[in-house]
Structure formats: C-alpha cells, structure tokens
Copies of this chain bind each other. A is one copy, B any other.
Amino acid sequence: MTQALDRWSPPMRDPDDDTPRLECGVFGVFDIDDAAAMTALGLHALQHRGQEACGIASFDGQRFHTERHMGHVGDAFGGGGLAERMPGRFAIGHTRYSTAGGSFIRNVQPMFADMEAGGVALAHNGNLTNFLTLREQLVSDGVIFQSTSDSEVILHLIARSRKSRFVDRFTEALSRIEGGYALVALTNKKLIGVRDPLGIRPLVLGDLDGKAVLASETCALDMIGARFVRDIEHGEMVIIDRHGIESLRPFPAKQARPCIFEYVYFARPDSVVNGRSVYDVRKRMGRRLAQEAPADIDVVVPVPDSGVPAALGFAQEAGAPFEMGIIRNHYVGRTFIQPTQGARELGVRMKLAPNRAVLAGKKVMLIDDSIVRGTNSVRVVRMVREAGAAEVHLRSASPPIQWPDYYGIDMPDRDKLLAANHSVEEIAKILNVDSMGYLSVEGLYWAMGVGPRDEANPQFTDHYFTGDYPTRLLDREIAEGRNEAVDRQLSFLVDA
C-alpha cells in the first residue's frame, strides 16, 4: 500500500471556463459539541468560495488535530468518523481555491505552527499585497518556508514577534501585512477573527445557543442553525474565549470599503453581506439594467445559475417573461476529452444545454452576472442561436471589467479582459449578439442602495470597473521597478 503525499493533480480547469474565482471561505466555532462536524457543515455551505481543497483544525483541550484534503467538503469530511478523528469543542476550517501559491498540498489550510506559547492554527481568505516583500525579508533572516501561502507569512510574523501575549504578537504581525483579508485563528485558549482595515473580504459573527461562530457568509450560519449577530467590522479583531467576546481595533481608523464583487458574483444569493441581501442587490442590478439598456425582446433568459436574480429583476422591470431557456447540468466530473468528431462546443455543453422550447423563434435577452474574457459568452450565444433564437441580446449585470484584482480574486491579466481592450460595439460583434449592454458604475452603486459613488472616498472596492485600487500594491510596484514578473522570488520553489 502506498499513498502519494506530496503530489496531487487537481481537476483541469476548462480553459474556456470564464468565471472569476475567489480563493477561500473561512469558518470557526468556539466551545460547542462536535466542533469539527459543525465546521464541516459550515464549510459545505461555503463550498462555492473554493472547490479545490478544504481543511479543518480542532483543539480538544490538550492537542490540536488537523486534516486537510484536496476536493470537496462533503467528500472529505462526510461519511462518518470525524468526531473520532477530530475530537474537541473548538475548531476552524477553510475551503480554498488558489490564487497565489499553486495548487499544491502544502498550501492547503488551516496552517498549523507550534510556537513557544503553544499551537496556533490559522486560515485566511484574501491576498496580501506585500506577501513577496515580507517573504523575501523573512527568508533573508533565515526563515524556512514550507509553502507559498500567505498564512505561513503571518504565522512566521507571529512567531518572531518579541511580545509576550499572543494577542500582542498577532497584532504586531497584522501591522506588517497589507491587502484584503479575513482571518480566523485558533489557539489553545482563543478563537480570533480579523477583517482587513478596509473590510475588503467579508466576515460575520453568529450565535449558536450562546456560543460564538465566525464565517465568511451568513449562509454558513443558516446551515448550522446559528443566528446572525453582526458583521465583523472593517479593521476589527474579535477575540473569543471563555470570558466572552472582546473587540479590538489594531489598525488606524479608516472608512470601510468592502469588495463590491461579492455582490456581483461571489457571495451566495441567500447571504446577507454588510447588511444587504445579495439576492436583492442582484435583482436591483437587473432592474436598473433594464432601464439603462432596454431592447425589444420576447423572453428574458438567465445564464444559470449566477445570472438568475438579475434576470428576474430585468424581466420584472421590462415586463417580459422570465424563462429557463438554458438548462444547467449539475453533474460534473473529470474533464472529458474532446472527441474528434461531432461534439461541437463540448466545453459549454457539458454544463449548459439549450431549451429549444423557450428559444426557438424568439428574440432572446440573455442576462449574465459579469463577463471576463468573453470566451464563455461566445459559446453560449452560439448555442442559443443554434437552438433557433431569432435574435440574441446580451446584458452584463455588472459594469465592464477592465482591471485585474490583487485581493484574492483569480482574474486574468488586463490584456485578456474583454472590456479592457474593446468598445461595447466591438464586443457585440465579437460575441455575435444583436445588442450588447453593461450596467453602469452608477447603476451598480444605485443597486447597492448607497446613492452615487463618492469619488473621493468610494464606498466600495471597485477597481475591477474603475482601476481605483484601495491600497498600495507593494509587490507589484517592486516587480515593476525591477522589470520582473510579480512571482519572481518563487521561481526556485519546489513544485510539488
């Protein structure tokens, strides 16, 4: 019997898959029965935030237990026996899609470190914009890295702090990192949650029969029957222990600026993020889009599943029927090999199928949540035309994506972003649609219900649409100064 420890081939991403990806969801519970099992359930509800890998760390009062897997939460932690393998009333968990770091096993979280003060398990969602700079400094100080994950940088900063109290060490470490992130950490005494100074990445506090729960989204609270208490605030650190919940402000005060893409695509529609229902915001995007970019159509059809709420909003505003003109096949598996004959457009047909009864002979309005490179849109439009649509109109429920992200979203470089390189008219031609339209940035802010964008102090992180990054981008600046790729220092790393 043998078992490969260091190698794992993740399912190939379909090269035509055009969805942006978020890297992570985090979850934590303190002092409840079956902490690991409850964490598994919370992670299952956060599966949409990362399907590549997942992990849980629990503490049983004496020892830490960690288990990390490639693949889905249900496969990894379902099936029984978890309580025996991971006892304890304290646990944190993580579900992951990689942006930085490569899809290798060492990078799966939570990361654990044995420090002088005891063990610490840490998981994060987001990305540090000065990761490479910190890593370079640490390596030159003699630090050895076992992974290419942000979490490990943070652990080293905590370990090397000269402070004596753990919270002070953590705070000192936080003072050195930059970027957008939500962190959960578990020690032998505390569960800690931190949200970056601008609140770019989300984190919420829940209550399960009087015990604290932390989660990336409220849908994870619903999953375990916990009550939503409040969002962790931007720049807030909450420290949960047997005495209760303490709130610290380790950073200089700033105005909040949460990521608006959570509403556009990432968060689940049943989640409430920063006080707003994601479903409601998406419907408002669709409604506004119907006002900004109307067309003479017979039927409104969402690109499933993420386009559904906006399509409902569009249809209600436009007074046109909403129909499921595209059916999604939810069964997936390893990538099929494209046969040499016949199976045209296999990539898209594996997941989406045309519903001829809705499409044939109709003037169809397709609603998608966003368009990144446009590769998927081309194929969906072609599929709808082949199913007999008389006209195909396409609307994006978000503004044109023109700038890459550095806070944890996996997007292509600028030269691959369709809207960064083409006018709307060109895009209509490229995608072969009868008309094309995007929601405006103003429309997006209207949908958020906050009035017009404050150009001096924008209410949201929205650089994808505006190029207005909320923090400096240290690694990128240094790399540009050196005329190197941003991932220069990692070139020497072991690849497995």
For residue A356, which residues in chain B have a CB less than 8 angstroms away from its CB? 270, 272, 277
For residue A142, which residues in chain B have a CB less than 8 angstroms away from its CB? 115-116, 156, 159-161
Interface residue from B5, B51, B225 paired with A344 (Cβ < 8 Å): B225
A34 contacts B2, CB within 8 Å? no
Residue of B nearest to A38 (CB): B339
B155 contacts A339, CB within 8 Å? no
For residue A493, which residues in chain B have a CB less than 8 angstroms away from its CB? 63-64, 114, 119
How often does this chain occur in the complex, in copies?
4
For residue A6, which residues in chain B have a CB less than 8 angstroms away from its CB? 55, 66-68
Q: Report the stretch among A345-353, A435-443, A454-462, A477-485 that lies at the interface.
A: A345-353
For residue A312, which residues in chain B have a CB less than 8 angstroms away from its CB? 322-324
A55 CB → nearest B CB, Å: 8
Encode A320-339 as 1/0 by CB contact (under 8 A) with B.
01111001011111111101
Interface residue from B41, B65, B108, B334 paired with A336 (Cβ < 8 Å): B41
B145 contacts A37, CB within 8 Å? no
For residue A224, which residues in chain B have a CB less than 8 angstroms away from its CB? 342-343
B41 contacts A339, CB within 8 Å? yes
The answer, yes or no, to whether A132 is at the interface (CB within 8 Å) is no
Interface residues of A in 448-496 (CB under 8 A from B): 491-496
For residue A62, which residues in chain B have a CB less than 8 angstroms away from its CB? 491
A270 contacts B355, CB within 8 Å? yes
Given the complex of chains A and B, what is the CA–CA distance between A495 and B60 in angstroms?
Answer: 12
Interface residue from B145, B159, B219 paired with A353 (Cβ < 8 Å): B219
A280 contacts B357, CB within 8 Å? yes
Interface residues of A in 23-81 (CB under 8 A from B): 32-34, 37-38, 40-41, 44-45, 47-48, 51, 55, 57, 62-80
For residue A491, which residues in chain B have a CB less than 8 angstroms away from its CB? 62-63
For residue A145, which residues in chain B have a CB less than 8 angstroms away from its CB? 113-114
| Chain A residues in the interface with B (C-beta under 8 A) | 1-8, 11, 32-34, 37-38, 40-41, 44-45, 47-48, 51, 55, 57, 62-80, 82-83, 85, 105, 108, 112-116, 118-119, 139-146, 152, 155-156, 159-161, 188, 208-209, 219, 222-226, 268-270, 272, 277, 279-280, 305, 308-309, 312, 316, 321-324, 327, 329-337, 339-346, 349-350, 353-358, 491-496
A–B Cβ pairs within 8 angstroms, 30 of them: A1-B75, A1-B334, A3-B8, A33-B340, A37-B336, A38-B343, A45-B329, A57-B494, A63-B495, A64-B494, A66-B494, A73-B333, A74-B336, A77-B336, A78-B334, A79-B333, A79-B337, A113-B144, A114-B145, A115-B142, A119-B492, A119-B493, A119-B494, A188-B492, A209-B341, A219-B327, A223-B353, A272-B356, A309-B324, A316-B321
